[in-house]
Amino acid sequence: MMIKDMMRQMLQGITATVPAAQVEAGVRAYLHSWHSGDAMARANLFADDVVLEDPVGAAPVVGKAALLAFWARAEGPHAKFEPELVRLTVCGDEAVAVFNLHVEFAGAGKATLRIIDNFQFDGQGKIRRLRAFWDAQSVE
């Protein structure tokens, strides 16, 4: 048996409560919501008891209300976010998205943040946990 066949067999053993296509669509909708600036559409992708770590190691943000407040501090009327997906991998009810978030604030300039997000979905297809990995070397 070839190594590629062995790897594919390993993947067949993964169980999920949500179809991979739904997980992928959820991640893509999340990224698109940053582009469109629609925080409510973004919030609707999450479970009520969501836990966000952004970045991992920071105090967790728990629940949708806290999530909206967290985003309100990051966003504003003069903020522009352009996510650029580099890679998306779905395994079971989880996904990892590697992306660049191009950020522009009027009067404050531009930056690019290179992020790796780990999404965990619940049985209803809602994001129940999001862990954002980025550090000082991720900011350009």
68, 52 Cβ separation under 8 angstroms: no
Model pLDDT, residue 33: 95
Q: Quick one: 107 exposed, middle or buried, by C-beta within 10 A (0-12, 13-18, 19+)?
A: exposed
Return averaged pLDDT per consecutive 10 residues of the chain, 140 residues in all. Answer: 80 84 97 92 96 97 95 82 97 97 90 97 97 96
In a domain, 130, yes or no: yes
Question: What is the residue range of 69's domain?
Answer: 18-138
| C-alpha triplet 4, 84, 124: angle, nearest 5° | 70
Q: Alpha-carbon distance 84 to 14, whole Å?
A: 28
In a domain, 8, yes or no: no
CATH of residue 45's domain is 3.10.450.50
What pTM, to 2 d.p., does this model score? 0.91
- Residues noted as catalytic: 30, 54
